[in-house]
A and B are shown apart, each in its own frame.
Chain A
Amino acid sequence: MGIETWIPLVLIAFVFVILILYLLRQKVDEFEVSSTLLWRELYRNIEATKPWEKLRKNLLMILQIAAFFFLMAALMHPYWSKAGDPQERLILVIDCSASMNTKYDSSATRLDAAKEKACALVDRVGLSGTVTVISSSNQGTLLLANSRDSREIKETIRSILPTSLPGSAADSLNLVQSAATQREESQIVFFTDTDLDPGMENASIVSLYRDCVNVSMDAMSCSASEEGISILVRMTNHSDQTLEREINLYGEEKLLDIQQTILPAGETVVLYFEEIPAEGNFFRAEFQEEDDLAGDNQTFCVRETSDVRRILLVTDSNLFLEKAFLLLPGVEVYRTRDLTEDWSEESGFDLYVLDGVDRSDTDSGRLPMGNLLLINSRVGGITEERERRSNPILTFSEGELTGYIANEQFGVNEASSYALPLWGKPFLTGEDFIAGYFGEYDGRRIAVMGFDLHKTDFGLQASFPVLISHLADYLLMRGLASETAICAGDLLSLNGSTSGGDLNIVRPDGNMDTLAPSALTVSYPDTETPGVYQVSQTIGEEERTQYIAVNFPSESESHVAYARDLDSEASTSEAVMEHTVDLRPYALLLLLLVLTAEWYVYVKQT
């Protein structure tokens, strides 16, 4: 048996108050006897003057004290863990994703309710069991392992903060399974608002889902024209009633426009703001009205810049390569068959892609400024070919340029074996040679691949456009950030120049983080808070700044679909609580019986 709270035990001091009241109760009846001689003989053995003698055989006092004890027991909320099924290890998984910020009742969110239910469960487990606490949003995080200190456990639970991250308790299943397999007696309880099927024994779900009134701002985009900025806002009514909303449009912090719209139940509505004055680098749209989930009542978008990258493709004919570059956003591709002798007409490009060009007699110092992609090409001072290999199998090695394609292989007719320069890093290898490398040299970024694309089927593989994208990211430096709009929790890819200063990221809350630039993309993970992030880097005397909009993951979090019947035992069972018997009703019943008996005795005595 356990006790949920020991605090009511301090009320035991009032028992002494009851005793004192009865001691002070001076009620001595006079009774005349023929003689007190015999009574005086036994008086020595009966010290009636001692106060506690007055308390004997006082049924009313005993009943009142018993009633007080039963009341105190009820306040202490005792419980009994069923024999034969001890909860030796309890694993609590608390969903803290964005949807848990939805209101549960008038004063608490789903996360608040989950934490209180979890704390109540900890009290029921008592000191005989251990508790492990895991928080779950887009991934599981082990907060506390195998603790028996109920105070520490509840503090850990209460310290779980709400997030704006997508995900659910399902994202922590791997971690939970890992924790549960350590001991067979583990009981797992998920506190979540999503329809979760744990697929594990001894797992139960405490559902925090409730129907709510919520309209979400799903997405926002803007485009520039001669008349000004056009902004599109998409919103969805997730409730079962038609709602009217007023939408405010801000350019940075300046109110630009207000519109009203009616959203039918369950419908998505698109709203247009046209001919908006081109003010501000980013825009924000938000609802004037509040609902049960405030996090998705606003959305952000960043004004696109006209920072277009120009690529010069030097090739006789390479359709795959040309198409691959044309698919890249923010680039303009130009093609030429050959370079002029002095490169006079070929200057001013951001990237030169040389396909099958032999300029081994050219010093790289004579090349126009711009990054280089050499495919089956030779440039003096940049490439040093040792030999040609026939029919090799080339493999992408692990590295910054080979994300998602590392260890992929393809066959070529012939490949060059390069001597790796000091500034180079290999990313493509044969059995025992280097077929491709990259690095920075002489103020420019360079990537070299030593095979002919025409003589391989690599262009037909899925890894080809991926490689081109990585090469473009590295060589083009299209912006400080690869994307201008992401969801909360997504990694922010930053492309800082190594020739510049540190990358400074200012979050929506005003705090700033600093990252060192890298030759390749730097991932910034702290995008939990929706808003506009500002990334800046000083390169020489120029300061480059870029804004990134991080939005609430409304697609997955604004409306949690719940397919199961909420009244079903599987979805709403609090299985651990079924293993304990609440003794408080019994204590209250005994209290009622004692009070009835006390009333009867009192009536009888009077």
Chain B
Amino acid sequence: MSELFSSDFFESLSSLKLAMHLRLEKGRSGSRKSSARGASVEFSDFREYLPGDDVRKIDWNVYGRLDRLYLKQFMEEQEATYHLFVDSSRSMDFGQEKKSVMALRIAGALSWLILGQMDRVFLHAICAEQVYSLHPGRGRSSFHNILTELEQISFSGNTDLERSVRRCQIAGRGVSIVLSDFLDVRGVDGLIRYLTFQKQEILLIQILSREELDFDEEGTLRLIDSETRDDITIAMTGQSIRLYEESMAKHQQTLMRLSRKYGCVYERVVSDEPIGRVLLERLANVGFLLRK
């Protein structure tokens, strides 16, 4: 095991399972119940007949009772597809406890859980210049390969989430989990809308470092952007730090509002938090993970 994924890391996963609220379209068969109504034997529901429907599905018993035409629907078991988008821009490689490490650990943990449910997982390392899609995995046997490829992700380049995600191959319904610091809120709106258009259940996990949340530097500083190398000189007075914290809070509120608007799940984690707490508390609190 690598430093990113220790035995303790996997022990913390043993008590978790994914909680899915997903209606899947037709696809490979898996162990996840799908809300898509297919040709399986398990009855699902009735709906009123509309011109053009298959007459073979008309339930005549209901017609006899109610003197109205209704179709019988059946559940179809189908494999779920998960897309994990890991922001691999340079800004993620920041902090004493790096955000990139937390992102990779969360991606690894979720991959472990997804593969354990016999679902398919697609991992994408995205930044403005390129998208690196890892080999899809299915089943626990592919987990080792996934970990190896996660460790090889380099964090460099600028951030452009929407354009990066658009370059990814997304087919059918699924769950999209975006791991980023979302510091550029402008791209988040387009990202969410695109994924929603692609019929994705969306989970946004914002990862920030402790230094970004509690900025306590003093003096007059020339702040240099780690991605663009732009600089700005600011005197770190009590007022300026207070305004920064207000800006950060406002940024988070914007993300939350976007999430609510588009029906997404949003959670913020700090890079110096223990991974166990992130999984058992943070993601469990938002209902994405369940305890067994």
Minimum CB–CB distance for A30 against chain B, Å: 5
Minimum CB–CB distance for B227 against chain A, Å: 7
A237-257 vs B, Cβ < 8 Å mask (1 yes, 0 no): 000000000000000000000
Q: Is B259 an interface residue (CB 8 A)?
A: no
What residue in chain A is nearest B92 (Cβ atoms)?
A34
Known: A28-B222, A29-B219. A34 touches B212 (CB 8 A): yes
Q: Is A33 an interface residue (CB 8 A)?
A: yes
User: Which residues from chain B contact A38 at a C-beta distance below 8 Å?
Assistant: 183, 244, 247-248, 251
Assembled-state Cα–Cα distance A329/B34 (Å) = 156
User: Which residues from chain B contact A41 at a C-beta distance below 8 Å?
Assistant: 247
Q: Is A13 an interface residue (CB 8 A)?
A: no
Q: Is A40 an interface residue (CB 8 A)?
A: yes
Q: Is B8 an interface residue (CB 8 A)?
A: no
User: Which residues from chain A contact B224 at a C-beta distance below 8 Å?
Assistant: 30-33, 36
> In A26-70, which residues have CB < 8 Å from any B CB?
27-43, 45-46, 48-49, 53-54, 56-57
User: Which residues from chain B contact A53 at a C-beta distance below 8 Å?
Assistant: 220, 235, 237
The residue that B240 contacts in the complex, of A28, A32, A46, with Cβ under 8 A, is: A46
Whether A32 contacts B234 by the Cβ 8 Å rule is no
Q: Is B176 an interface residue (CB 8 A)?
A: no
Whether A36 contacts B223 by the Cβ 8 Å rule is yes
The residue that A29 contacts in the complex, of B99, B221, B247, with Cβ under 8 A, is: B221
Residue of A29, A36, A49, A53 with most chain B CB atoms under a 10 A cut-off: A36
Whether B235 contacts A48 by the Cβ 8 Å rule is yes
Number of interface residues, chain A, beta carbon within 8 A: 25
Q: Is B169 an interface residue (CB 8 A)?
A: no
Give chain B's interface residue range (CB within 8 Å of chain A): 35 or more
Q: Is B95 an interface residue (CB 8 A)?
A: yes
Whether B232 contacts A36 by the Cβ 8 Å rule is yes
What residue in chain A is nearest B183 (Cβ atoms)?
A35
Whether B227 contacts A35 by the Cβ 8 Å rule is yes
User: Which residues from chain A contact B25 at a C-beta distance below 8 Å?
Assistant: none
User: Which residues from chain A contact B223 at a C-beta distance below 8 Å?
Assistant: 31-33, 36, 39
What residue in chain B is nearest A38 (Cβ atoms)?
B247
User: Which residues from chain A contact B234 at a C-beta distance below 8 Å?
Assistant: 39, 43, 46, 48
User: Which residues from chain A contact B226 at a C-beta distance below 8 Å?
Assistant: 32-35
User: Which residues from chain B contact A32 at a C-beta distance below 8 Å?
Assistant: 94, 223-224, 226
Whether A46 contacts B235 by the Cβ 8 Å rule is yes
Whether A42 contacts B244 by the Cβ 8 Å rule is yes
Assembled-state Cα–Cα distance A49/B227 (Å) = 24
Assembled-state Cα–Cα distance A80/B92 (Å) = 66
User: Which residues from chain A contact B212 at a C-beta distance below 8 Å?
Assistant: 33-34
Known: A28-B220, A42-B240, A46-B243. A33 touches B233 (CB 8 A): no
Minimum CB–CB distance for B262 against chain A, Å: 22
Whether A30 contacts B222 by the Cβ 8 Å rule is yes
Assembled-state Cα–Cα distance A291/B219 (Å) = 69
Whether A37 contacts B183 by the Cβ 8 Å rule is yes
What residue in chain B is nearest A29 (Cβ atoms)?
B221
What residue in chain A is nearest B250 (Cβ atoms)?
A41
What residue in chain A is nearest B238 (Cβ atoms)?
A57
Q: List 16 A-B contacts (CB under 8 A).
A: A30-B231, A32-B94, A33-B223, A35-B91, A35-B226, A35-B227, A36-B224, A36-B232, A38-B248, A46-B235, A46-B237, A48-B234, A54-B220, A56-B237, A57-B218, A57-B237
Known pairs A40-B232, A48-B240; list 20 more (Cβ under 8 Å): A28-B220, A32-B94, A32-B223, A32-B226, A33-B94, A34-B226, A35-B91, A35-B181, A35-B226, A36-B225, A36-B232, A37-B184, A37-B225, A39-B244, A43-B234, A46-B237, A46-B240, A46-B243, A49-B233, A53-B220
Interface residues, chain A, CB within 8 Å of chain B?
27-43, 45-46, 48-49, 53-54, 56-57
Interface residues, chain B, CB within 8 Å of chain A?
91-92, 94-95, 99, 159, 181, 183-184, 209, 212, 217-228, 230-235, 237-240, 243-244, 246-248, 251
